[in-house]
């Protein structure tokens, strides 16, 4: 199934693509959709208009990792908050949990079969990020509301798959791994941050170089050489399915089946390694997991760049946890990369999601903390995974909720059902609100949740109410501070988004 961004739909850190819609969140919270009070505080609105500027002027060009790119004001939507994060490279910081997680995964895919690429530039073309992978021109993931653009053809990569074509083309090794920072405009909560890290892997076989041109035998030989594991695997799926998970026309059934088996075993071994480390680390802190073997299941999936495709889920703390997406690479990607004789598989996963498990990190904002109380807990772990222990949280600081109710810009009532939807309501998109909150407040907002949505029966205008939860991970915020931030958020919403505060 395709989520709103058209990749994995179950959401979460793997793909973060199935952003929960605002409406589903309202339902989840059992918050009845009740009309908001009808008082419109016009004087206050005037005051915000006067006090706060409109959209900041975009620069003529931006420099990211010492390369300069021309900005197109029609497209440019990268705030300085985000630009500043492009240099952090958490996946390469010594002893950082994201980097440790990367290294654990790399240990399962050793060189020289798999070459690791950890320093690829975050700025890519729309061709690399979308077209080369078979994303249709109208794919929702391309929207300015979801993706950070520098100009019409240049963006901050939304996933590590953006580098598949170039690495298949380079063809330096039978397999590769990529780790990198990726960027998505998204909601604010404990598991979503506009910058996160992904890991991508791929493995190919070449019909021109395998013995007797027999890819199937070559793949099975490599499969035999892989270690075994003792996990329980649920895999009721056929190797491919004509409607749900088709075989590609240029692949034989035997080839696709063999590649799929190698893919599945390789990724099961990775999950086995990760969860072995989770278990050991938790045991050091006295958290016991029981002695049953780990249970995983394969679920059919859809990605534009693989077929057949699957997701791998792990049974963890009484539920299925989505870990990764993968599949047999679309042959056109290899053909366009000039290596048509190759066939192979690819996978992608979110590193933070796995690091959160490994280290019991409760809030994704913590990864960006420079606080010694956070970073100090992982010191020395990089050279010795035997020292890995769950993170011990700082004392929790009090939350401070503030609500903001406003009329959406435009005529309203036009068609978009949820506030998270597109079109119908002028320029409004929920992610723009998230961006304003991040720009004004940085990391002191824990989440932003839609509480109410109401369409005026006569005018058709829609009013929504969001709750902003101010809670710093590092210190106690005073009510005055939170009030000050909230007033600035409201002002920027009026100036930048054209909403009318109620």
Nearer to ligand DAH, 14 or 499 (CB): 14
**Minimum separation from the CB atom of position 325 to ligand DAH (A):** 3
- CB-closest chain residue to ligand DAH: 348
Nearer to ligand DAH, 17 or 366 (CB): 17
Q: Does 270 bind ligand DAH (CB under 6 A)?
A: no
Least separation in angstroms between CB 191 and ligand DAH: 15
> Least Å distance between CB 164 and ligand DAH?
7
Spell 409-433 as b/e; 16+ CB within 10 A means b: bbebbeebebbbbbebbbebbbbbb
Q: Which two tokens stand for residue 94?
A: 């010594």
Question: What Cα–Cα distance (Å) separates residue 98 from each residue in 52, 103, 396?
Answer: 38, 9, 23
128, 200, 268, 425: which one binds ligand DAH (CB under 6 A): 200
Question: According to the binding rule CB under 6 A, does residue 156 interact with ligand DAH?
Answer: no
Short-list 23, 35, 72, CA closest to 421:
23
Q: Which two tokens stand for residue 109?
A: 């895919």
Nearby residues of 135 by Cβ (< 8 Å), 6 or more positions away: 6, 141, 142, 304
Query: What is the 3-class SS of 85-140, one letter each residue?
Result: HCCCCHHHCCCCHHHHHHHHHHHHCCCCCEEEECCCCCEEEHHHHCHHHCCCCCCH
The structure tokens listed for 499 are 């909403």
Q: Are 39 and 32 in contact (CB under 8 A)?
A: no
Taking CB under 6 A as the binding criterion, the range among 36-44, 67-75, 323-331, 435-443 that sits at the site for ligand DAH is 323-331
The 8-class DSSP code of residue 495 comes to I
d(CA 303, CA 2): 8
What is the residue whose two structure tokens read 């009808």?
A: 38
CB of 107 to ligand DAH, least distance (A): 20
478 CB neighbour count, 10 Å cutoff: 10
- Candidates 17, 216, 364, 494; binder of ligand DAH (CB under 6 A) is 17
Residue 214 CA to residue 484 CA, distance in Å, equals: 68
For residues 380 and 395, what is the distance between their CA atoms, to the nearest angstrom? 24
The yes or no reply on residue 485 touching ligand DAH (CB under 6 A) is: no
Residues in the interface with ligand DAH (CB under 6 A) total 16
> Of residues 204, 326, 361, 441, which one binds ligand DAH by CB under 6 A?
326
Task: Based on DSSP, count helices (H) and strands (E) in the chain, helices before strands.
Answer: 13, 17
- The nearest distance, CB 14 to ligand DAH, in angstroms, is 6
Residue 400, interface with ligand DAH (CB under 6 A)?
no
Binding marks (x or -) toward ligand DAH, 110..149, rule CB under 6 A? ----------------------------------------
100, 281 in Cβ contact below 8 A?
no
Name the residue nearer to ligand DAH (CB basis): 175 or 390.
175
- Does the protein bind ligand DAH through residue 306 (CB under 6 A)? yes
Chain positions 330 to 349 lying near ligand DAH, rule: CB under 6 A, are 346-348
Closest approach of ligand DAH to the CB of residue 281, in Å = 26
Q: Tell whether residue 303 is a contact of ligand DAH (CB under 6 A).
A: yes
| CB closer to ligand DAH, 8 vs 188 | 8
**Minimum gap (Å) between residue 173 Cβ and ligand DAH:** 16
3-state secondary structure of 407: strand
Of 161-180, binders to ligand DAH (CB under 6 A) are 161
- Of 6, 260, 308, 327, which lies in the binding site for ligand DAH, with binding defined by CB under 6 A? 327
- Residue 323 in the binding site for ligand DAH (CB under 6 A): no
Indicate which single residue of 308, 325, 420, 491 sits in contact with ligand DAH (rule: CB under 6 A): 325
Q: Are 368 and 85 in contact (CB under 8 A)?
A: yes
Binding footprint of ligand DAH on the chain (CB under 6 A)? 7-8, 14-15, 17, 159, 161, 200, 303, 306, 325-327, 346-348
């Amino acid at each position: 199934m395709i989520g709103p961004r058209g990749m994995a739909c179950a959401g979460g850190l793997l793909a973060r693509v199935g952003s929960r819609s605002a409406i589903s969140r309202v339902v989840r919270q059992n918050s009845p959709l009740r009309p908001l009070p009808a008082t419109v505080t016009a004087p206050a609105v005037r005051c915000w208009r006067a006090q706060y500027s409109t959209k900041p002027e975009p620069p003529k060009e931006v420099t990211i990792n010492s390369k300069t790119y021309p900005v197109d004001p029609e497209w440019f939507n990268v705030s300085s908050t985000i630009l500043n994060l492009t240099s952090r490279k958490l996946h390469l910081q010594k002893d950082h949990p994201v980097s440790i997680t990367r290294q654990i995964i790399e240990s399962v895919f050793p060189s020289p079969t798999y070459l690791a690429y950890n320093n690829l530039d975050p700025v890519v073309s729309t061709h690399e990020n979308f077209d080369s992978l078979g994303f249709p021109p109208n794919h929702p993931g391309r929207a300015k509301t979801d993706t950070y653009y520098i100009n019409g053809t240049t963006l901050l990569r939304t996933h590590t798959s953006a580098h598949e074509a170039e690495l298949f083309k380079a063809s330096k090794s039978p397999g590769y791994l990529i780790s990198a920072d990726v960027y998505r405009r998204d909601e604010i909560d404990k598991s979503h941050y506009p910058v996160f890290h992904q890991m991508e892997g791929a493995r190919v076989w070449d019909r021109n170089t395998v013995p007797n041109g027999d890819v199937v035998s070559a793949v099975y030989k490599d499969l035999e050489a892989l270690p075994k594991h003792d996990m329980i695997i649920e895999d009721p799926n056929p190797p491919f399915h004509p409607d749900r998970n088709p075989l590609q026309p240029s692949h034989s059934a035997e080839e696709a089946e063999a590649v799929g088996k190698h893919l599945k075993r390789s990724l099961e071994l990775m999950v086995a390694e990760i969860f072995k480390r989770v278990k050991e680390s938790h045991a050091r802190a006295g958290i016991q997991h029981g002695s049953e073997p780990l249970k995983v299941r394969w679920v059919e999936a859809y990605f534009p760049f693989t077929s057949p495709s699957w997701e791998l889920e792990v049974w963890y703390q009484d539920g299925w946890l989505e870990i990764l997406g993968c599949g047999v690479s679309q042959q056109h990607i290899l053909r366009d990369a000039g290596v048509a004789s190759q066939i192979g598989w690819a996978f992608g996963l979110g590193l933070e999601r796995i690091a959160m498990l490994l280290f019991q990190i409760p809030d994704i904002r913590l990864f960006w903390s420079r606080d010694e109380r956070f970073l100090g807990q992982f010191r020395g772990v990089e050279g010795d995974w035997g020292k890995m222990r769950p993170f011990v949280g700082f004392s929790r600081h009090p939350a401070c909720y503030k609500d903001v109710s406003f009329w959406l810009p435009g005529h309203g009532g036009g068609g978009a059902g949820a506030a998270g939807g597109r079109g119908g309501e002028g320029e409004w998109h929920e992610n723009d609100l998230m961006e304003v909150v991040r720009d004004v407040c940085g990391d002191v907002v824990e989440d932003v949740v839609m509480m109410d949505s109401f369409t005026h029966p006569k005018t058709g205008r829609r009013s929504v109410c969001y709750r902003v939860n101010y809670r710093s991970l590092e210190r106690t915020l005073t009510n005055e501070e939170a009030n000050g931030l909230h007033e600035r958020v409201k002002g920027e919403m009026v100036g930048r988004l054209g909403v009318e505060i109620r």
